[in-house]
Structure 1
């Protein structure tokens, strides 16, 4: 599709990968709605790139439903969902708190599902649409201390495959990107970052490339790794 035809919703779009995807889309002529938990931050981020911004917590179903409804009202041709909202909680199994794991799943899995469900209903009615789920290399391979986050990303990968199987007949492309560690606040946590790790812009370029393929085909899944992160 032509990027000038893109009418996109980017969740978790006020910083990091989501913001960079929204920014690159705007620079290529797309119309964009972005959201984030912090309403002031989301509005400020959107204003800086000429997009629409809203505060929304996708783990709260009414918030997620209202977000898609607002997007459709603002962008009647809404045709691209970038499911990027997510966060991680890390630690060994023996210290894992159930409530914390449920909080991770509420955003990374249930929130992604609700936003996709509402978007898919709209896309089906238009007989066209695109969903890009931003997963992680953690959705391909687990690691010590990653139980909550890895489980959420494996779940997202499974949902991606299910949605793809259901929605292809409606000309809806369901895609997934698996970045390895990226230089964002998500991973920084006060720690110094290797400049050899991926940047958000590499993931944005991957997302735009997936969208730009002619609608007769699509890239189902793309893993993006740093060449030499050490």
Structure 2
């Protein structure tokens, strides 16, 4: 696709992977709308990027609907949805609660699905569009204490495959991106960005991957891509 002048939503766009992706897209001339829950942080990020901020929590359906009203008003339509917003909780099997599942699934699964639902309606009508779901290597392999988070990302991976089957006849590309460990604020109790480490992935590597998959000519698409650090064990 042609990035210049493309109309894009990036959820969770105020920091980390979402911020880096929105920034790269804006640098290439895209018109970008970012969402997030923290108004001050979101507006500061939007000003730095040159994006449109919409304070919204994808876990709340009424706020998803408000986001798409803003899309119509601010962008006049949509070409790309990047489902980046996500949260995590680590619990041993003995500690699991329904409340923890609901909290994570409302963002990682239900929120992504409701965003995709509204985007798909636009994309089917115009017979084109792009959905990028940010999952994780946790969508491919579980780990101890990962029941809730891995379960949510396995669900997102499964939904991606369903949307690919449903939307390909409408020229809609649905792409899954699985980052390995990235030095961001994700999972940090204080929500502060972690410092870069020379042997770990940065948000920039994932943003590069997202933009590269989108830039492929629309006749082809990459269904799924996984990004690992080259050598995370080196000293």
Q: So what's the TM-score if we normalise by structure 2? A: 0.94
Asked if 1:223 is matched to 2:223, the reply is no
Deviation at 1:116, TM superposition (A): 0.5
Equivalent of 1:211, from 206, 214, 220?
214
For residue 187 of structure 1, report the CA deviation from its aligned partner. 4.0
| Residue of structure 2 equivalent to 1:131 | 131
Mapped partners of 1:192, 1:48: distance in 2: 20
Distance 1:144 1:193, change over 3 A: farther
SS at match of 2:33: strand
Runs of at least 4 residues of structure 1 off by over 2 A?
187-195
- Which residue of structure 2 aligns with residue 62 of structure 1? 62
CA contact (8 A) 1:181 1:187 kept: no
Q: Distance in 2 between matches of 1:167 and 1:114?
A: 15
SS of equivalent to 2:54: strand
The question of 1:118 aligning with 2:121 is answered no
1:179 shift after superposition: 0.3
Report matched runs for 1:17-166 at 5 Å. Answer: 17-166=17-166
Deviation at 1:193, TM superposition (A): 6.6
SS in 2 for 1:104: helix
Give the root-mean-square deviation of aligned CA atoms: 1.4
Give the whole-Å Cα distance in 2 for the aligned partners of 1:23 and 1:155: 28
Count of residues paired in the alignment: 230
Question: Aligned-pair distance for 1:192?
Answer: 7.2
Q: Unaligned stretches of 5+ in structure 1?
A: none
User: Is the 8 Å Cα contact of residues 26 and 32 (structure 1) preserved in structure 2?
Assistant: yes
User: Which structure 2 residue ranges, 5 or more long, are not aligned?
Assistant: none
| Distance in 2, Cα, partners of 1:44 & 1:160 | 31
In 1, distance between residues paired with 2:199 and 2:28?
Answer: 27
Q: Provide closer, same or farther for how the CA distance between residues 210 and 160 of structure 1 changes in structure 2, counting only shifts above 3 A.
A: same
